[in-house]
Amino acid sequence: MSVVGTGGRPRGVRSRAGEQAGGPAGPLTMAIESVTHRYGERVVLQSVDLELSERRIGVVGANGSGKSTLARLLNGLVVPTEGRVLVDGLDTRTHGPAVRRRVGFVFTDPDAQIVMPTVAEDVAFSLRRTGLSRAETAERVAAALDRFGLAGHADHPAHLLSGGQKQLLALTSVLVTEPDVLVCDEPTTLLDARNTRQVAALLDDLPQQVVLVTHDLDLVAGFDRVVVVDEGRVVADAAPGVALAAYRELVG
């Protein structure tokens, strides 16, 4: 058959009573405990301790501050050199697959994230091994594409989409698995103002818990909490008003 929908146990697709009520049961807790991370000699994160359980969390910081690494800790893409990361009690070091099923990740460059040649296939790729039949997969894919305004592009080659549409596709492919948390690493950096607004509005409406790494301070102004990272350390961690003021002061 295919990369899509061969047997196996269901994954990423769980029935959720809370869904009708307008979202997952509640934000889960992601605990970063005394984490230090090095790439070779270079220390990118230094003694970071964070407990993230808000619905909307922003992460800001200069280029090379370690905020991308911080984001990658949350789904086990990066396992820390020292310390540990627990997502809803699961250690990313030992339960990586289980964590990734609950934490969806959106990258900056959608071209690297879209792995299948056409739009619908890329969304369907996320549903492989969910135990869904071909028809069920197709149905879910169609519904997801419709929800994010890509229905008319289902059979189009992914490379013919505009930059904004590509990022929407990347988002769709992640959200079709219904993760509990969505971590986005600068998802709007490559987009124009209009597409940035569209992606921001979309993130705003999600029932999921969202961790958004960004340089666009406006995007996180309405969030519950903003973490400011500088040279591998958390230098501010507060409500957006306070945290963003601290960040602006930091960058002068």
Partner 1 sequence: MILGSYVPGTSVLHRAPVWLKLLVLCALMVGLFWFRSPVTVLCGAALVLVGCSVSGVGVLEVGTRLRPMLWFLVPLTVLQGVWVGPVRAVVLVGSLLVAVGLATLVTLTTREQDLLDAVVAATRPLRPIGVDPERVALVLALTVRSIPVVAALATQVQQARKARGAERSARAFAVPLLVRTVRHADRLGEALQARGVDDG
Q: How far is the CB of 244 from partner 1 (least distance, A)?
A: 28
Say whether residue 132 binds partner 1 (CB under 8 A). no
Say whether residue 135 binds partner 1 (CB under 8 A). no
Q: How far is the CB of 155 from partner 1 (least distance, A)?
A: 5
Query: Residues with Cβ < 8 Å from 102, sequence gap 6 or more?
Result: 28, 87, 88, 179, 180, 181
Say whether residue 130 binds partner 1 (CB under 8 A). no
Q: Exactly one of 54, 88, 91, 111 binds partner 1 (CB under 8 A); which one?
A: 111
Cβ 173 vs Cβ 126: under 8 Å:
yes
Residues 58-97 that bind partner 1 (CB under 8 A): 75, 77, 96-97
Q: Exactly one of 44, 67, 107, 247 binds partner 1 (CB under 8 A); which one?
A: 107
Say whether residue 112 binds partner 1 (CB under 8 A). yes
C-beta closer to partner 1: residue 104 or 240: 104
C-beta closer to partner 1: residue 128 or 197: 128
Say whether residue 201 binds partner 1 (CB under 8 A). no
Residue 132 half-sphere exposure, CB side, CA atoms within 13 Å? 22
With tokens 């500088």, the residue in question is 230
Q: How far apart are the first and last CA of the chain?
A: 57
Say whether residue 47 binds partner 1 (CB under 8 A). no
Q: How far is the CB of 47 from partner 1 (least distance, A)?
A: 25
